[in-house]
Amino acid sequence: MNRARHPDVITRERYDAVLFDLDGVLTDTAQIHAASWKRMFDEFLRSRAQRTGEPFLQFDIANDYTSLVDGKPRYDGVRDFLRARGIDLPEGSSGDAPGTESVCGLGNRKNDFVNAAIASGEVVTYPASVALVRRLRAEGFKCAVVTSSQNRAAVLEAAQIADLFDTAVDGNTIVEMHLAGKPAPDCFLQAAKALGVPPARAVVVEDAISGVEAGAKGRFGLVIGVARHGNAEALKRHGAHVVVADLGELNNGS
C-alpha cells in the first residue's frame, strides 16, 4: 500500500476529539484475541466433529476472524461465527461456565484465554500510536478509547497508558447501557457525548471493518483505518476516509 505521509489530517481547526479503538490500534493485542478465538472455536469444533461425525473445519484467522468476529462484542462474535457455520446453540447466560456449549459459555472460554495472555505479560503497544495520542493531548484534543473488549481496563493498565484518555467506552459499557456493538455507531456516539463533542468534530481511528463501518454510520468527521494486515482496500470500502499502515504516517502538523 502507499505509505506516503499524511500531514495535517487531524487539525484543531476541524476537530476537537479523537476516538481510538484499542486492540490493533493502540496495543498489539488483536493477535491475542485472534489466537484466543481460534483456540476456543477449534476446541469446540473438534469436539463437535468427534460427536457428530461431521468433518472438522478449523477456525481461520485470515477469513473468519477478520470478517465475523473482529471488533465486535464477544457474544456477538460467537453468535455470528456459529450462524455462518450453520450451528445453532442456546444463548445461555453470562454466568455460564467457560466452555459450556452455549453462546455465552463459548465466549467466556475465549475470555479466559485472553485474560491469561494479559496476565502473562503479552500486551505491548504500538509506539507510533502512543506517540500520536501524547501529541494530540499536548495540542488540546480530547482522547477516548472505544472498544468492544471487556478487558479494556486490564489491557490499558498492562500497557501503562490508562492515564492518556479522558473517557472510555468498552464491552462493559455496552452491557450496562444496552448499546448496540460495532458495526453500529452507538459506542463511538456515546464516547463523543461523554466528551461533549459532536460527531462531526470527532475523529475515529479503527483497524477493524466493523469499526470503520461504525464510524461511517455515525457520520464522524474523519474515519482513519489502520491496515495492519494489508486490508487497506477493504477498510476504504467500508467507510475509512484515510488508510495508513501505521499511525506514524500521520504527521499531524509536526
> What is the dihedral angle through the alpha carbons of 7, 212, 180, 72, rounded to the nearest 10 degrees?
-110
Structural contact between residues 250 and 9, judged by C-beta atoms closer than 8 angstroms: yes
Find the angle CA(99)-CA(57)-CA(122) to the nearest 5 degrees. 55
- Does the annotation count 60 as an active-site position? no
Dist CA 3 CA 51 (whole Å): 49
Q: How many CB atoms lie within 10 A of CB 8?
A: 12
Q: How many CB atoms lie within 10 A of CB 41?
A: 24
Catalytic hit among 8, 16, 21, 60: 21
- Does the annotation count 88 as an active-site position? no
Q: Which residues does 91 contact at the CB level (< 8 Å), separation at least 6?
A: 102, 103, 104
Query: Which long-range CB contacts under 8 A does 94-100 form with residues at least 24 apart?
Result: 94/175, 99/43, 99/44
User: Locate cell 499524511: which residue?
Assistant: 6
Structural contact between residues 142 and 166, judged by C-beta atoms closer than 8 angstroms: yes
User: Locate cell 500486551: which residue?
Assistant: 123
The backbone region for 219, taken as left when phi is positive above 0, alpha when psi lies in -120 to 50, beta otherwise, is left
Q: Catalogue the active-site residues.
A: 21, 23
